[in-house]
């Protein structure tokens, strides 16, 4: 793939312009662009797969940090909508098992839900299902994983990864193996597993919300016998989560021999990167579906309100996705929910960025 990407720079290969395929040389001439002439080692630099992996890695980290943060916000709405308890988020619980991500999530939930009438009311149940009670442990472990992956990616993009390595002051040319993508492959596989779990636990909360528990109507609609309501979005989330389990299978455990046995162990990190991209986009879709469900469930708790912060978030969301009264095509609402999350730092920046680090 990188060879095809680089060829047009040399005036070779094909490119697509305005949805039409051209010979690269033809298009370069049309725009009066000169092809580049490669110097020593530059061809290998254009083809080296570690750049492919690290480019994906940077983008995926940014996207995963944001998705993880949004998952916290949405899960806090789900917790309130499910009439959940805040006790499992008490700092003392996490002080005795002080994983940094776990403590961060617990503190966030206490802030997000401050002033909620729902969270403060007396509860009839002693414990919540794991998908609510263990949010700090699950979401937090993902955050710690992302911090690890970030260290790997930052080291990589500030490193020399070509071969051979030329050390001018030492007057040495050394053939080494810095081109090997194993650090990135393992990190990207780790990211896949961690982000898949964000989607996994999100879908479980969706299932709980549509199950007719704790005073909520079955499938989150009136007349559930006549209306399917939010049953089908839960199906959608479940199928996506199932697909993610396959995408999360490590690519780095694979290898295949090439170059007449010289390249006898490879990282498969490019596969990990493209799988991770699909997986993280899938997780974004799952938490968007959870937001649809949680916002719908909150309406059945009226006139009680969640926290002022979350009410402001929901007010913005309701501008693009309405409360669902009877069955309708929900695909457009799912798409609108995804778009809302993608635009969230634009639409509700003042609500959250003044209080919390987006990461």
Tell me, what's the pLDDT at 47?
A: 87
Q: Say whether pLDDT at 324 is over 60.
A: yes
Tell me, what's the pLDDT at 359?
A: 42
| Cα–Cα distance measured from residue 115 to residue 306, given in angstroms and rounded to the nearest whole number | 7
Task: Decide if 217 contacts 228 (C-beta within 8 A).
Answer: no
In a 10 Å sphere around its CB, with 0-12 CB exposed, 13-18 middle and 19+ buried, how is residue 163 labelled?
middle
Tell me, what's the pLDDT at 229?
A: 87
Residue 355: pLDDT band with limits 50, 70, 90: very low
Closest to 60 in 3D by CA, of 179, 188, 158: 188
Q: β-strand 172-174 against 165-167: which pairing, if any?
A: antiparallel
| Cα–Cα distance measured from residue 312 to residue 295, given in angstroms and rounded to the nearest whole number | 12
Q: Say whether pLDDT at 350 is over 70.
A: no
Q: Say whether pLDDT at 218 is over 60.
A: yes
Q: Say whether pLDDT at 1 is over 90.
A: no
If you search the block for the tokens 């009264």, which residue do you land on? Answer: 325
Contacts of 348 (CB under 8 A, 6+ apart): 312, 313, 316
Q: Say whether pLDDT at 347 is over 50.
A: no
Residue 354: pLDDT band with limits 50, 70, 90: very low
pLDDT, one tens digit per residue, over 254-308 is: 999 988 888 899 999 999 999 999 999 999 999 999 999 999 999 999 999 999 9
User: What are 279's two structure tokens?
Assistant: 């997986």
Q: DSSP strand E in the chain: where?
A: 14-17, 20-23, 165-167, 172-174
Mean pLDDT of all residues belonging to the chain: 93
pLDDT, one tens digit per residue, over 153-205 is: 999 999 999 889 999 999 999 999 999 999 999 999 999 999 999 999 999 99
Q: How many angstroms from the chain centroid is the CA of residue 292?
A: 18
Tell me, what's the pLDDT at 228?
A: 82
pLDDT, one tens digit per residue, over 71-128 is: 999 999 999 999 999 999 999 999 999 999 999 999 999 999 999 999 999 999 999 9
Residue 349: pLDDT band with limits 50, 70, 90: very low
Tell me, what's the pLDDT at 45?
A: 84
Please report, rounded to a whole number, the percentage of residues in the chain having pLDDT higher than 90: 84
Tell me, what's the pLDDT at 351?
A: 47
Residue 330: pLDDT band with limits 50, 70, 90: very high
Tell me, what's the pLDDT at 356?
A: 46
Q: Which residues pair with 102 in a beta bridge?
A: none
Q: Say whether pLDDT at 206 is over 50.
A: yes
Domains of the chain listed by start with CATH number: 1-46 (no CATH), 48-352 (1.20.200.10)
């Amino acid at each position: 793939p990188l060879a095809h990407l680089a060829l047009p720079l040399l005036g070779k290969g094909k490119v697509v312009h305005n949805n039409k395929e051209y010979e690269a040389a033809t298009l370069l001439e049309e725009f009066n662009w000169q092809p580049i002439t490669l110097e020593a080692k530059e061809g290998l630099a254009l083809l080296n797969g570690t750049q492919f992996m690290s480019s994906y890695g940077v983008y995926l980290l940014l996207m995963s940090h944001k998705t993880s943060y949004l998952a916290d916000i949405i899960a806090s709405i789900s917790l309130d909508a499910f009439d959940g308890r805040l006790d499992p988020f008490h700092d003392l619980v996490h002080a005795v098992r002080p994983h940094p991500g776990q403590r961060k999530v617990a503190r966030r939930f206490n802030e997000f839900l401050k002033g909620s009438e729902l969270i403060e009311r007396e509860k009839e149940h002693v414990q919540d299902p794991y998908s609510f009670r263990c949010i700090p442990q699950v979401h937090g472990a993902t955050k710690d994983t992302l911090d690890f992956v970030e260290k790997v990616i930052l080291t990589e993009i500030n490193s020399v990864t070509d071969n051979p390595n030329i050390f001018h002051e030492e007057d040495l040319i050394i053939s080494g193996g810095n081109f090997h993508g194993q650090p990135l492959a393992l990190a990207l596989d780790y990211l896949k597993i961690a982000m898949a779990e964000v989607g996994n636990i999100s879908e479980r909360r969706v299932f709980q919300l549509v199950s007719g528990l704790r005073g909520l109507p079955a499938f989150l609609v009136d007349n559930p016998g006549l209306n399917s309501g939010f049953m089908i979005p839960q199906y959608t989330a479940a199928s996506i989560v199932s697909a993610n389990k396959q995408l999360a299978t490590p690519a780095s455990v694979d290898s295949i021999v090439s170059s007449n046995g010289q390249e006898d162990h490879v990282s498969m990190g490019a596969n990990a990167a493209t799988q991770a991209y699909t997986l993280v986009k899938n997780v974004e879709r799952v938490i968007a579906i959870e937001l649809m469900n949680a916002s719908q469930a909150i309406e059945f708790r009226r006139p009680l309100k969640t926290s002022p912060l979350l009410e402001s978030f929901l007010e913005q969301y309701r501008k693009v996705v309405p409360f669902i009264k009877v069955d309708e095509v929900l695909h457009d609402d799912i798409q609108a929910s995804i778009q809302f999350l993608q635009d969230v730092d634009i639409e509700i920046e003042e609500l959250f960025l003044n209080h919390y680090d987006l990461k």
